């Protein structure tokens, strides 16, 4: 058999009014071919009846001799012309009848399934398709995406992809000179999800995976370090902690206490998350904190690390957190502190605390104050693995801190071993006193005005070998 293909390149299409119904089957075959995958769908195939003298009449029956001249094109290229015919059953009950949906095309001197023609002429391109095509493909293919059947790590990759492409929300905006929160939620967490924040409301599992990415971070994410608190003052640190504590993680069904018993358990977990990790269904965003950067003023530094020199411990303190708050953050793995700025303006501020820490120039002694802060810090932060301090007055001070920290860490190892021994001998426990939440001051009222307690320690007078003032401001005298 021979088929002549002789088309004129211009005016090649028959008007739709004379299209034979068989064309619909060819279009269906093209559509079926394209629905195979998103990359197949990415290649449009337009099917038209070609203008050709041998084409059958609109009403012609489909029989064994039926053939239709068709142009296929995908916009931007010239049409590819081909002769199509229905596949006819050669044997069996339907012998001589057209097999519905089975279209053949003349290719290299024989009729082959149309699919083979498409594969040769309209192959899918390599590489990812545009979002729009993906969207259209899913709309057209009648299938549902089996999200729940995916392994967790694949789900994680997908959510990470959303987070990765999501520009972070602005956390703060200046408004008439005042700093105001833009987001009512917890921008430290929600900001990482950007416009994908609604992932947190999809399901427990999606919420769990999304929060884990926000908390723990990943080297593939813009926020690689996970949930970090960057606070330029103790007050702003307190605000962050309080804000995050208001948001429950809600990653399990029974995360909300419903009776007195579960409310008690929640309080217990919040106070001692390290002792009761199995109650972590009550965790808040706070418990996801991985890293803290905190900048301290002199007075805040002395309070934060509970310095007791002289009568300092007896002075009423403002209600700000102290280092014990770290005990309530079970996943904390890095602490960075900026020591108070020794070169800054050094003067007592009695509005918050009626204790004098600055002797007055030229005898202000920031070195002594730094030492009080970091000596206490070295001791109380010994259990924490990654602790850094910046802002020392000189390298000697930094070395001094590092060696104090080493001593404290070694002592801690010994203490831990002794404790183990103690437990082995007594086989008992240590009775807990009053229920105290670490780092949170009890609700004492310190509002009343108090006199400055006279003290021969405070304010420390600079007796350094070279006066601090000269070290810090060598050109001022
Ligand atoms: Zn000094």
The rounded Å distance from CA 367 to ligand 1 centre is: 5
pLDDT of residue 447: 47
pLDDT of residue 468: 92
The rounded Å distance from CA 365 to ligand 1 centre is: 4
**What is the Cα–Cα distance from 172 to 240, expressed in whole angstroms?**
13
Give CA angle at 39 (38, 45), nearest 5°.
100
Q: Is the pTM of this model over 0.85?
A: no
The rounded Å distance from CA 470 to ligand 1 centre is: 9
The rounded Å distance from CA 358 to ligand 1 centre is: 11
Please state the rounded mean pLDDT for residues 158-184.
59
pLDDT above 70 as % of the chain: 86
**What is the Cα–Cα distance from 294 to 432, expressed in whole angstroms?**
31
The rounded Å distance from CA 465 to ligand 1 centre is: 8
The rounded Å distance from CA 364 to ligand 1 centre is: 7
At 200-249, the pLDDT tens digits run: 988 888 999 999 999 998 877 766 788 999 999 999 999 999 999 999 99
Residues belonging to the chain: 477
Closest CA to 388 of 339, 340, 335, 342: 335
The rounded Å distance from CA 314 to ligand 1 centre is: 24
The rounded Å distance from CA 386 to ligand 1 centre is: 29
- Give CA separation, 345 vs 151, 342, 349, 354, 425, in Å: 57, 8, 11, 18, 55
At 274-305, the pLDDT tens digits run: 999 999 999 999 999 999 999 999 999 999 99
The encoded tokens of residue 292 equal 């803290």
**Sign of the CA dihedral running 346, 350, 352, 353:** positive
Residue 372 confidence (pLDDT) above 90: yes
pLDDT of residue 116: 92
Residue 11 confidence (pLDDT) above 70: no
**What is the Cα–Cα distance from 229 to 241, expressed in whole angstroms?**
9
The rounded Å distance from CA 406 to ligand 1 centre is: 25
The rounded Å distance from CA 76 to ligand 1 centre is: 80
**What is the Cα–Cα distance from 139 to 150, expressed in whole angstroms?**
20
Check residues 424 and 351 and name the one with the higher pLDDT.
351
The rounded Å distance from CA 347 to ligand 1 centre is: 15
The rounded Å distance from CA 339 to ligand 1 centre is: 15
Which sequence spans correspond to the domains of the chain? 16-141, 159-170+181-427+437-472
- Give CA separation, 368 vs 223, 240, 265, 365, 466, in Å: 38, 30, 44, 6, 13
The rounded Å distance from CA 71 to ligand 1 centre is: 92
Residue 433 confidence (pLDDT) above 50: no
pLDDT of residue 454: 66
Residue 182 confidence (pLDDT) above 50: no
Which residue pairs from 276-283 have beta carbons closer than 8 angstroms and sit at least 24 positions apart in sequence? Answer: 277/330, 280/330, 281/251, 281/252, 281/254, 281/255, 282/248, 282/255, 282/257, 283/248, 283/249, 283/251
The rounded Å distance from CA 453 to ligand 1 centre is: 23
The rounded Å distance from CA 362 to ligand 1 centre is: 9
């Amino acid at each position: 058999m021979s088929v002549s293909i002789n088309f004129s390149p211009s005016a090649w299409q028959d008007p739709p009014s004379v299209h034979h119904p068989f064309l619909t089957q060819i279009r269906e075959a093209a559509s079926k071919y394209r629905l195979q995958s998103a990359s197949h769908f990415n290649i449009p195939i337009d099917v038209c009846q070609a203008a050709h003298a041998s084409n059958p009449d609109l009403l012609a029956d489909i029989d064994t001799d039926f053939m239709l001249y068709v142009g296929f094109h995908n916009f931007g290229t010239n049409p590819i012309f081909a002769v199509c015919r229905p596949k006819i059953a050669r044997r069996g009950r339907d012998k001589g009848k057209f097999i519905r949906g089975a279209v053949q095309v003349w290719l290299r001197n024989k009729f082959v399934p149309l699919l083979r023609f498409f594969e040769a002429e309209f192959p899918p391109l390599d590489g990812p398709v545009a979002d729009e095509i993906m969207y259209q493909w899913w709309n057209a293919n009648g299938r549902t995406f089996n999200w729940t059947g995916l392994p967790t790590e694949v789900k994680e990759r997908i959510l990470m992809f959303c987070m990765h492409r999501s520009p972070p929300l602005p956390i703060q905006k200046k408004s008439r000179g005042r700093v105001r929160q833009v987001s009512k939620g917890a921008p430290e967490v929600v900001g990482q999800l950007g416009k994908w924040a609604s992932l947190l409301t999809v399901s427990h599992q999606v919420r769990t995976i999304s929060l884990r990415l926000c908390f723990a971070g990943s080297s593939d994410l813009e926020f690689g370090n996970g949930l970090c608190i960057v606070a330029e003052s103790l007050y702003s640190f307190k605000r962050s902690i309080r804000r995050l504590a208001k948001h429950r993680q809600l990653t399990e069904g029974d995360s909300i206490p419903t009776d007195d018993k579960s409310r008690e358990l929640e309080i217990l977990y919040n106070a001692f998350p390290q002792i009761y990790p199995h109650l972590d269904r009550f965790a808040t965003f706070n418990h996801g904190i991985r890293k803290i950067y905190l900048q301290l003023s002199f007075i805040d530094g002395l309070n934060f690390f509970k310095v007791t020199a002289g009568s300092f411990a007896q002075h009423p303190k403002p209600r700000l957190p102290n280092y014990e708050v770290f005990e309530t953050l079970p996943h904390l793995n890095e602490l960075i502190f900026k020591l108070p700025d020794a070169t800054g303006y050094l003067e007592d501020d009695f509005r918050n605390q009626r204790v004098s820490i600055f002797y007055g120039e030229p005898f202000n002694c920031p070195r002594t104050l730094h030492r009080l802060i970091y000596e206490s810090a070295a001791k109380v932060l010994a259990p924490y693995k990654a602790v850094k301090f910046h802002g020392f007055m000189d390298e000697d001070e930094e070395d001094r801190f590092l060696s104090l920290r080493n001593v404290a860490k070694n002592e801690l190892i010994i203490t831990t071993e002794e404790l183990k021994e103690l437990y082995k001998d007594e086989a008992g426990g240590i009775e807990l006193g009053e229920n105290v939440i670490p780092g949170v001051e009890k609700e004492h009222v310190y509002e009343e005005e108090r006199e400055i307690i006279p003290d021969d320690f405070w304010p420390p007078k600079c007796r350094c070998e070279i006066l601090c003032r000269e070290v810090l401001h060598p050109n001022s005298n």
